[in-house]
Chains A and B, each alone.
Chain A
């Protein structure tokens, strides 16, 4: 089992080192590869991106991403290549269209509803006279102390 694995390496390395790739159409930086790979879900792990996963499959996918970018494909085209093969599932954040808009707008809707409720309540509450009965119950000693401290402050 461990031997098998070491062998994988030898094989992969042999291929990587011997098979001189065709000259790339353009130079692609590590961060460009990372950016595309970060959008893709690693298929053998759970909830890790292809960029982050330490698995062999993810490493091979990063190589594929790099080669496609070097061949002149745009990041969107590279992502589409993976979607065509794995389905939308492979995208770590759902595309902003159709049904998926629901999940994208949910946070906004939550904040909007929350703010609306607060606005209505605050309006209603500020119209009522704030009765003295709701003043926090402080013992006289504490009240005295606050007075002293605030005076000392001035």
Chain B
């Protein structure tokens, strides 16, 4: 009876593989966690569209929201632009700075985008893509939340909502500045 019972192991050998493939349904291959979360935010020195210098180092002590966008990124960037502007107006007096970094774009199109949405927070082009690579971005929109000590604490891929911004910003504001 037990002679060659092991042969029934042959079909069973397929099970781990099938389980692995089933596991695949639970993960999204396009969602890759950033190794930068928890690490100091890479510094940058850009020139904003209004010609004023914009450096990250000067913002130490504030909670900074760095948002990567482009005018050709439709519809996600168009959805989140009003959200960002609203949040900026709500939090600017509480020590929060929103910075927009425009990548792979043209100056004219970007300025039209800023005008159309009436964006009042600082925005700067990143013509060489260095800042976007420094932050390990995959595309637009992507947003990084930086705490008062200058460390990246969270990354959000895709369009922002009021709730997402509020959750991250309130958490970082609640931390002591030191």
Contacts and interface: CB of A to CB of B under 8 A. Distances in A.
Task: Find out whether A and B make contact in their complex, taking CB atoms under 8 A apart as touching.
Answer: yes
Interface of A: 1, 3-8, 10-12, 14-15, 43-44, 56-57, 60-61, 63-64, 82-87, 89
Given A7-B106, A43-B138, A12 B33 contact: no
Given A4-B109, A11-B105, A85-B133, A63 B128 contact: yes
User: In which size bucket is the chain B interface?
Assistant: 20 to 34
A89 B108 contact: no
A84 B128 CA distance: 19
A44 B107 contact: no
Contact of A61 (B35, B125, B127, B133): B133
Q: Interface SS of chain B: helix, strand, loop or mixed?
A: loop
A8 B106 contact: yes
B76 interface: no
Contact of A60 (B109, B125, B129): B129
Nearest to A82: B133
Contacts, number: 74
Nearest to B109: A4
Nearest to B126: A60
B139 interface: yes
Interface in B124-160: 125, 127-130, 132-139
Contact of B72 (A1, A11, A15): A1
A66 to B, nearest CB: 12
Contacts of A85: 34-36, 133-136
B72 A87 contact: no
Given A7-B109, A8-B104, A60 B128 contact: yes
Contacts of A84: 35-36
Contacts of A89: 32
A57 B70 CA distance: 13
B71 interface: yes
Given A85-B135, A86-B35, A4 B128 contact: no
A64 B72 CA distance: 23
A82 B106 CA distance: 26
Given A1-B72, A61-B129, A86 B136 contact: yes
A86 B135 CA distance: 8
